[in-house]
Amino acid sequence: MNKAQSLLSLITEADYDYRHLKRNKVMLTPEEHDEVLKSGAVWDHPKTGEKTPGIWKAKTRSGITVYGSNTHRAISVKKSLSDAIKSFSWIKSTS
């Protein structure tokens, strides 16, 4: 396997995992939702003035809860909400 095939394999695996997580999203608890909003890890909607959480929660194939954020260019998945919040500024920079 050459470098291009290896890279393509990694991208495909990451894409597949994202699709799985997307299908297995679960609601943030009210406490988690409040923590995300208070931390500023939010998407701003200028037309309405609304702020929505930039972090989502999902279950992996093995049943582990993970927290993630993404744009059309990047994704970040972490095992804890605090780590996901910390990585959100990088995700937001890719939008």
pLDDT band at 19 (very low <50, low <70, confident <90, very high): confident
Find the length of the chain: 95
Q: Which domain holds residue 18?
A: 3-93
Number of domains in the chain: 1
The pTM assigned to this predicted structure is 0.79
Q: Which amino acid is at 85?
A: I
**For the purposes of burial, counting CB atoms within 10 Å of the CB of 37, is it exposed (0-12), middle (13-18) or buried (19 or more)?**
middle
Of 30 and 2, the one with more pLDDT: 30
